[in-house]
């Protein structure tokens, strides 16, 4: 059975920090940044990271039958705790799913995708990449970086795009690096990186992929290649013989560069408008390069992603407070007062015992009276029966606000703290945190959906506790 892309999904954080606000904050020290102050970049909220974004992107892909999951990121929350396992648990994949993390390069996402496409495994593979890279304040990277995630289901059946050529080059060419334990990347001189790196390494790999498929550069309808250097995709395309009009929108002006996820995010964006028979070339650069050549099939004409890049881009909310970026990235030590001084040590034993309830938001339905409750208790809260409760996931269940409070007194990294009683359509009622609330606020009856987020962070042991929160549904095209 032919193996190819059968589904995809995308996620971009809703907060879009205006680049002009960043440039204005640094105008006294780095006035040249004003030239980069156009558009906006996606900003991951304090409770979003590579794992939570990967989960949200994956929820747009039906991958319940996946036999393996590959997670790619240059900035995962854990260095020695498999992040792919956390994603698999949150999206409800079976416990026997094979998991692996890929990191160490901006082409980790394309490497994961290529590995899945070349696999002889008969079960589908879920490939997901997410990144939210921190940048040193005042740097050009602070203006360029964004945040986001993309997910692809690789398998047989209704393939919407098939791989017809590929090439990889492993080159010890250092354009940037980040040593173990360091927070920020270090970049080398741009002209050297452009002339000796991109323009020599990538075109050669493109030629190999095209020769493998028996195609010419003029046969390419869409060329996707991220890069922080201005005009680099057009320059590489020209060197490879690809028409300028085939170069895909880099999305940088709307969300910024999303690291290892960006080539996959660009691919997803192109697939949303690709026509049957069109050839799509994806290239990513980092200690060499990956080139993947796809052909859209007839099935793509009828495919509609549940979580598209277009919807994710359109759902942005403009933000002009630069200090939010500093605070969320731990670069601004605000005095939050005594209420912020409580400990956050996580009981890992209890977290494991309640893993199904916490990771996949599983409630329990009473077999006698039908009452749905979360958390699950030994007896039914309605009729008192001690019969085992039937598992019932709440993560995709429609819900509305029953009561709510906006608390400015309790410590919260992005005040105010919205919380309230959430009424699910299946009868469950849960006290929950409500996030991503617009300036206009919320009201009783506001429709909600569930999102996977960081619940709390332990600053001493650097552990993240994850759980589900509620958010108004008027976002991400839902």
H or E element that contains 21: helix 19-25
Taking the C-alpha atoms of residue 238 and residue 282, their distance in angstroms, rounded to an integer, is 15
Residue 407: per-residue pLDDT: 93
pTM of the predicted protein model: 0.94
235 touches 200 (CB < 8 A): no
Give per-residue pLDDT as tens, 15-68: 999 999 999 999 999 999 999 999 999 999 999 999 999 999 999 898 889 999
3-class SS of residue 20: helix
Pairwise pLDDT comparison (23 vs 335), residue with the higher score: 23
Phi–psi pair at 399, nearest 5 degrees = -150, 165
Other C-beta atoms lying within 10 Å of the C-beta of residue 458: 13
> In sequence order, what are the beta bridge partners of 293?
165, 281
Please compute the mean of the pLDDT values over residues 332-353 and round it to a whole number: 78
Residue 177: per-residue pLDDT: 94
- Please state which of the four CATH numbers 3.10.50.40, 3.40.47.10, 1.10.132.20, 3.40.50.300 is assigned to the domain occupying 4-328: 3.40.47.10
Residue 275: per-residue pLDDT: 97
Taking the C-alpha atoms of residue 164 and residue 312, their distance in angstroms, rounded to an integer, is 29
Residue 477: per-residue pLDDT: 41
Residue 474: per-residue pLDDT: 66
Other C-beta atoms lying within 10 Å of the C-beta of residue 49: 25
* pLDDT at residue 300 tops 50: yes
Express as a percent the part of the chain with pLDDT over 70. Answer: 99
Indicate the average pLDDT of the chain: 93
Give per-residue pLDDT as tens, 166-222: 999 999 999 999 999 899 999 999 999 999 999 999 999 999 999 999 999 999 999
Strand segments (E) across 367-428: 372-373, 390-393, 399-407, 417-424
Residue 451: per-residue pLDDT: 96
402 touches 444 (CB < 8 A): yes
Rounded alpha-carbon distances, angstroms, from residue 359 to 353, 454, 464, 467, 468: 11, 11, 13, 7, 8
**Domain residues of the chain, as ranges?**
4-328, 338-472
3-class SS of residue 117: helix
Residue 476: per-residue pLDDT: 41
Give per-residue pLDDT as tens, 225-243: 999 999 999 999 999 999 9
Please compute the mean of the pLDDT values over residues 444-471 and round it to a whole number: 91
pLDDT band at 335; cut points 50, 70, 90: confident
* pLDDT at residue 447 tops 80: yes
Dihedral angle sign, alpha carbons of residues 72, 301, 313, 413: negative
Residue 1: per-residue pLDDT: 65
């Amino acid at each position: 059975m032919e193996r190819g892309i059968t589904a995809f999904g995308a996620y971009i954080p809703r907060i879009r920090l205006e680049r002009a606000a960043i440039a204005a904050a640094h105008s006294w020290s780095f006035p040249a940044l004003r030239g980069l102050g156009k558009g906006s970049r996606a900003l991951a909220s304090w409770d979003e990271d590579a794992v939570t974004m990967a989960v949200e992107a994956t929820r747009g892909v039906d991958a319940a039958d996946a036999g393996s999951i590959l997670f790619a990121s240059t900035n995962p929350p854990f260095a020695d705790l498999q992040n792919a396992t956390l994603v698999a648990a949150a999206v409800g994949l079976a416990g026997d799913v094979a998991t692996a993390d890929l990191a160490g390069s901006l082409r980790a996402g394309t490497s994961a995708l290529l590995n899945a496409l070349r696999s002889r495994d008969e079960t589908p593979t879920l490939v997901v990449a997410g990144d939210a890279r921190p940048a040193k304040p005042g740097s050009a990277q602070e203006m360029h970086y964004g945040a986001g995630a993309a997910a692809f289901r690789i398998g047989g059946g209704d393939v919407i795009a098939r791989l017809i050529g590929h090439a990889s080059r492993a080159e010890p060419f250092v354009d940037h690096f980040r040593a173990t334990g360091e927070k920020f990347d270090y970049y080398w001189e741009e002209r050297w990186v452009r002339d000796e790196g991109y323009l020599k390494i990538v075109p050669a790999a493109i030629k190999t992929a095209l020769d493998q498929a028996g195609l010419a550069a003029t046969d390419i309808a869409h060329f996707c290649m991220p890069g922080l250097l201005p005009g680099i995709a057009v320059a590489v395309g020209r060197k490879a013989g690809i028409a300028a009009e085939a170069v895909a929108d880099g999305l940088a002006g709307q969300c910024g560069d999303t690291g290892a996820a960006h080539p996959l995010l660009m691919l997803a964006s192109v697939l949303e408008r690709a026509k049957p028979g069109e050839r799509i070339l994806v290239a990513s650069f980092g200690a060499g390069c990956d080139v993947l050549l796809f052909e859209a099939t007839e099935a793509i004409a009828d495919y509609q992603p549940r979580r598209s890049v277009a919807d994710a881009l359109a759902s942005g909310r403009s933000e002009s407070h630069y200090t939010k970026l500093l605070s969320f990235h731990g670069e601004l030590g605000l005095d939050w007062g005594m209420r912020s001084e409580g400990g956050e040590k996580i009981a890992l034993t209890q977290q494991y015992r309640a893993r199904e309830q916490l990771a996949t938001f599983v409630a329990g339905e009473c077999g006698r009276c039908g009452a749905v409750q979360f958390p699950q208790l030994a007896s039914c809260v309605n009729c008192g029966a001690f019969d085992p409760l039937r598992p019932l996931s709440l993560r995709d269940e429609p819900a509305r606000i029953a009561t709510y409070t906006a608390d400015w007194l309790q410590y919260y990294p992005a005040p105010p703290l919205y919380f309230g009683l959430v009424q699910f359509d299946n009868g469950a009622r849960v006290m929950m945190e409500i996030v991503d609330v617009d300036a206009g606020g919320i009201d009783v009856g506001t429709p909600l959906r569930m999102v996977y987020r960081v619940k709390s962070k332990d600053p001493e042991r650097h552990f993240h506790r994850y759980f589900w929160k509620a958010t108004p549904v008027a976002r991400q095209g839902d």
